[in-house]
Amino acid sequence: MDGKFIKFGKNLVTTDEFVAEGHSFCVGCGEALALRLACKALGKDVIIANATGCIEICTSPLPVTSWRVPWIHTLFENTGAEISGIEAGLKILMKKGKMPERDIKCVAVAGDGGTSDIGMQALSGAFERKHDFLYLCFDNEAYMNTGIQRSSATPYGASTTTAPAGKLSIGQTTWKKNMAEIAVAHDIPYVATACPSYPFDLINKVKKGGEVKGPAYVHIFSPCPTGWRYPTDLAIEIGRLAVETGIFPLYEVENGRYKLNIDRPKLRPVEEYLKPQGRFRHLLDGEIAKIQEHVNEEYAKLKAKVACFAA
């Protein structure tokens, strides 16, 4: 904790590490990188409530912990409720003068299962009550720490252990749940999607989400070499391809106003993203065309929303 910065063009990144090295994330984990960058953006005045998931088990293997900031483990289903309680508690303690007035960020950290499947109800409630907190969803598109079971964030066509591809099945048969849009529907001040392949974009969004008064939601795409079955050195490329093919567009929604952060004049074909990954290896041309069509449709919808507010 020496408070030094490294300069990348106009961006400054602190050398402080709030998640200690020596954690047990898999080799080449995109989520570990996303978490490291997000914690750099948040700084040390933060309280983190962490749902069960890859991040929780990999950063707190007894008898050690990776965390250098206040951290609490919650269950899958109550991250939203827990962070609401922390925020309300801090507010009343400061109001009664039992602790000095300070700007402490309340941050909930969960995986895609803890957000879009199990923790959805508590999260929706916390959004609705307009607590001042930031929710970070690290989306690796399945329950990775228990052995790659499908979640509602698993994309169409992906093979997982509970939705295996075979003669009669193509793997996951439903489309990925659009969690960021669900957060937008709660009419909260800040929603964004981010990817560790674009580190400064991610840092800026997490910083912004932490500073906003009221609930904020950042959906972070986290490539997973183990579950997605690609070589360990490809995490950054896979993230970039997801953004450039339009499968995971990077946008932010401030008070209902959409803004596209990375906008390519022409999207790359989805095949480039699907090909390096073993979980999509079984897909035939017909299925790939279907995915391409869906991506084009969703991207056009997003562009229309962005165009609405451009004028």
Partner 1 sequence: MTEKRLKTGPDFIWRDMEVGNIVTEAGSAALRRTGDWRSQRPIIDKERCNKCGLCWLYCPDVAIKLLEDGYYETDLFYCKGCGICAKVCTREAITMIEEEEE
Angle between helices 199-211 and 30-42 (to 10 degrees): 50
Among positions 172-211, residues that touch partner 1 (CB under 8 A) are 196, 199
Angstrom distance (rounded) from CA 82 to CA 74: 7
CB 20 within 8 A of CB 68: yes
23 binds partner 1 (CB under 8 A): yes
Closest distance to partner 1 from the beta carbon of 15 (Å): 7
For the chain, what is the radius of gyration of the CA atoms?
Answer: 19
Angstrom distance (rounded) from CA 116 to CA 154: 10
User: In this chain, which of 12, 17, 211, 293 binds partner 1, going by CB under 8 A?
Assistant: 17
User: In this chain, which of 49, 81, 188, 234 binds partner 1, going by CB under 8 A?
Assistant: 234
User: In this chain, which of 3, 10, 22, 102 binds partner 1, going by CB under 8 A?
Assistant: 22
Length in residues, the chain: 311
User: In this chain, which of 12, 15, 146, 169 binds partner 1, going by CB under 8 A?
Assistant: 15
16 binds partner 1 (CB under 8 A): no
**Closest C-alpha to 140, from 12, 26, 300:** 26
72 binds partner 1 (CB under 8 A): no
Map residue 30 onto helix, strand or coil.
Answer: helix
Our CB check for partner 1 shows the closer of 137 and 203 to be: 203
Our CB check for partner 1 shows the closer of 31 and 87 to be: 31
**63 upstream amide cis, omega within 30 of 0:** yes
Residues that bind partner 1 (CB under 8 A): 6, 8, 13, 15, 17, 20-25, 27-30, 32-33, 36, 59-69, 196, 199, 225, 231-237
